[in-house]
Amino acid sequence: MLQLISIALALPALVASPRLAAASAALVAVSNVVLLARLRGNRQVSLGSMFLFIYAVFHVGLTPYLILGAMPRLLTGSTGDPLTWLLSPQIAAALVLVTVSMAAYLLGYAAVACRRSAGRHQRTAAAARDRVATSSIVWMGPILILLGTVLLLKVVLSEGLNTLGADNYALFRTEQHTPELAWSFLSFGIGMAVLGTNGRLGKSHWWALAFLPVVIVPLVIGWRSGTIFPLAAFLLAWSRRQHVRIRLWHGAAFLGLLTLGSVVRQAREGGPSGFRLTAASLNPLDGLAEMSATLRTVVVVREWDVNGHVPAVGWQTYWAPVERLIGHALGLDVVPATLDERNLSTVFLAQPELGAIGGSPTAEAYRAAGVVGVVVVMALIGAAVAFLDSRQSWSMWEYSVGMIGYVLLVWTRNNFTPVVAQVLLCLSIICAARLLDSVRSSRLPEPAGPGIQRAGRTSTRQPPS
């Protein structure tokens, strides 16, 4: 709350100075990620800190250049002159909205985390561990990753192996018209989350190493999100059972990944055939700046508001996906998401000068209800993330943290449209695993004596001699 009040008091100065707004956004991003890591323990990785970190990467990564008044080299070489939006008079206001978003997210997270930390009770860890170890969901991870692999191979083979040598923009056009890719990445993300949650039970570190080449494939052929989000989902799920803490080498690894992302972008720009590593920029800030182009969606929506061009959709942008799901379930005719202007991406795609620029929970919330919408939506996201972080370890529902967490992480740079259906899919997988476990348990023979018990239970009683 103190952050929101401070932003309100400094609002005139922040809106008037892009440099000051950028510095404020960077300061709030770093401080809030540190606070969230401390809130869950001594620098422990959690969904709360992971969500805000990735949100900041995609929205605040340009702040070093904005503070210095410079332009990132990686973006200046792109076609289509995508840097004009950085010169928009609304860039400072957009950065303020991002800062408000991060402050509201922390407020919502802290409110739920502090409430649930009081009076929390723990079950016997050993009994819960044995119960999960016998669960069918342990094998869902490898199955889902294999499914994603098959779908990805189908797309690559259907487009032809020459896709691997295409330029970056051709790949993105393919992505827009290939639903199999969305299902492939979703399978990767949920599968990696299940592997991470398995912890020591299913030797998930060996499974992860086995599938790592497959997960890296989207990065190599230009779809970096298909690699970034599944790996993030695995890390946050793994950290719940291994108590992973943020250390200095994590920062070095992050800079290395940014450099790799920058190189991949440059290689895809004109096709790998003409790429020369010696001529490439190895500046990790260039990679960070390119990823944070999600800020453009906030700038565009802010410009719509100032110019009076925002469609009057209100909160319908969040009801539309639910309405479509209900309509499909009842067999009714529904407006496809690609034609529904309540979907922010649909409006972007309808304008040739914008196209597929992605999405943002901040831009979507501002379009729905202005600053109030930003505060409400981001606070609710923070509350939902805190609720997931409080799930009990070694329980079946702990799998929801990594699985639903993956869906929320993808939302940081996309729209709300697929979130409802994907969350329901995650819950359906968990419920199906519980149902299968119940069926298997019911088929087990009844215990013949006090010393014989069902699988997955422990007992200190000994059979009579």
Cα separation, 368 vs 409, in Å, equals 21
Q: Which residues of 379-397 are buried (b: 16+ CB within 10 A; e: fewer)?
A: bebbbbbbbbbebebbebe
Q: Is 266 helix (H, G, I), strand (E, B) or coil?
A: helix
Helix (H) or strand (E) holding 45: none
β-sheet bridge partners, residue 245? 44
Cα separation, 28 vs 26, in Å, equals 6
Q: What percent of the chain has pLDDT over 90?
A: 28
Read off the tokens for 351: 């304008």
Q: Which of 3-17, 142-156, 311-325 bottoms out in mean pLDDT, i.e. has the lowest?
A: 142-156
**Is 80 exceeded by the pLDDT of residue 223?**
no
351 confidence band (pLDDT: 50, 70, 90)? confident
Highest mean pLDDT among 148-152, 429-433, 449-453: 429-433
**Is 70 exceeded by the pLDDT of residue 126?**
no
Cα separation, 417 vs 338, in Å, equals 10
Average pLDDT over the chain, rounded to whole? Answer: 78
pLDDT of residue 349: 85
Q: Is the pTM of this model over 0.95?
A: no
Task: Give the pLDDT confidence of 422-436 residue by residue, as tens digits.
Answer: 999 999 998 888 888
Q: Is 399 helix (H, G, I), strand (E, B) or coil?
A: helix
Task: Give the pLDDT confidence of 245-304 residue by residue, as tens digits.
Answer: 777 766 777 777 777 766 776 666 655 556 666 666 677 777 777 778 889 999 999 999
54 confidence band (pLDDT: 50, 70, 90)? very high
Only one residue has tokens 């800030």, namely 285
Side-chain-side CA neighbours of 205 within 13 Å: the count stands at 6
Read off the tokens for 174: 């393919």
pLDDT of residue 80: 43
- Measure CA 448 to chain center: 49
Rounded to 10 deg, the angle between the 47-60 and 361-389 helix axes is: 160
Cα separation, 187 vs 226, in Å, equals 10
More confident residue, 461 or 87: 87
154 confidence band (pLDDT: 50, 70, 90)? confident
